[in-house]
Structure 1
């Protein structure tokens, strides 16, 4: 057995979304990730149980000291108070319970898209694919949106040489249809949701919402029963309705990204992150996303100069949580 004095100091990082909970051990000496684990939210009735499972794995590994030095948890909800409830899962997180479970250390709780924004600031050119536009102005704001279980949104600015991430809840703004078909989709969704936010379309569940709305509009059977079914059928070309749903998804994504660029003056570029985009990147490339991004009437030429990027780098949330700790932003 490894001697106690040889065990390594570590930080604990987490990226907790509505579908998956990702944890990592970060070596304090090197900054590298040691253990990395991803758990399905559905596998644990409470967040605390998933954390206990990871801590048991860390203990069993035998390489690390009993308690972490620092902790940063990126969570998919608004950061208000010490007890947080997730938007798209039944879990909640309590800062006092977290601290007690980790040896009574201070715990940084940040919005998951604050972490993504931190990670965006550290990307290399190979970490994303650019879909048109000119050269990014690095002195201007960057906009980030990420369809996944929900729709995360943030902006990133250069504040005196330091990265400042401004969190928001832009996924819950009103869906603004542009085409006759999108108006019909909105009419299908209104009775179900009352308020139809862009997240109701730009998320995993949103892909299924679009598909089911199209089935109703076309008076045809909805064969696919899950977002994964719709996506895989579209990518395989197995279901024309699924292919249309994914095309509509990409068009709305382009429209919302363009709106965000105008709202924020995001001449630093617009990044599409989240769990969905990397899995359908080839489909996105051949879609109408760039045309819809620029289709803003008198401001089309303004948007034509702004680069639109799809992020390919995995584990952005964990990378961003690490950057948050390293920058001493708590």
Structure 2
């Protein structure tokens, strides 16, 4: 599926990077790919909301997490996003041998916490062949404080 997503994106972009997939700009790409290739039929209320906004990410989050009238396409989008994010976080953990842990920051991880905890993220994170055992011992944390960057800058300023 991810190879299909890569091919889809290469038809639309000259260069494809992880940032085009597992970031805020990437979520609509995953959504569009799944809608086009997996034959999902989107719910009318989601189509209407997406047509009226510039940034569709909040609509995708809302539709995926809705208790009533949940969008299977948006759920699949967030599950795919979480798995790709997990794979890249695992790659990073190996590159820097982050045995102390990985911290996921930004605006998306706190919003999709349930999707990060459902198993797909960690399965992709640890799926590194002979390094899977090592990765299974690396803790993964989601930064929940939206002001953590400001707090870090303030701390650094006080240190100077």
Using structure 2 for the length normalisation, give the TM-score. Answer: 0.86
1:156-205: CA deviations, max 9, x gaps? xxxxxxxxxxxxxxxxxxxxxxxxx1111111111222111111111122
Hey, which of these two has a bigger chunk of helix by percent?
2
Which residue of the partner structure matches residue 296 of structure 1?
128
Contact 1:202 1:249 in 2 (8 A): yes
Which residue of the partner structure matches residue 228 of structure 1?
58
Which residue of the partner structure matches residue 24 of structure 2?
204
1:242 corresponds, among 74, 88, 92, to 74
1:11-22 alignment, distance < 5 Å: none
Which residue of the partner structure matches residue 259 of structure 1?
91
Per-residue deviation at 1:220? 4.6
Which residue of the partner structure matches residue 129 of structure 1?
none
Find out whether 1:274 has 2:106 as its counterpart.
Answer: yes
2:156 corresponds, among 324, 327, 330, to 324
Which residue of the partner structure matches residue 88 of structure 1?
none
Q: CA RMSD in A?
A: 1.6
1:36-60: CA deviations, max 9, x gaps? xxxxxxxxxxxxxxxxxxxxxxxxx
Which residue of the partner structure matches residue 53 of structure 2?
none
* Count of residue pairs brought into register by the alignment: 148
Per-residue deviation at 1:219? 4.0
Per-residue deviation at 1:242? 0.7
Deviates most, 229-238 or 260-269: 229-238
Matched residue SS, 1:204:
coil
Matched residue SS, 2:83:
helix
1:274-302: CA deviations, max 9, x gaps? 11111221232124111111100011011
**What stretches of structure 2 of length at least 5 have no aligned partner?**
51-55
1:68-217 alignment, distance < 5 Å: 181-217=1-37
Per-residue deviation at 1:273? 0.9
Question: CA 1:220 to 1:305, structure 2 compared with 1: closer, same or farther past 3 Å?
Answer: closer
Using structure 1 for the length normalisation, give the TM-score. Answer: 0.43
Q: Give the number of the structure whose alpha-carbon radius of gyration is greater.
A: 1
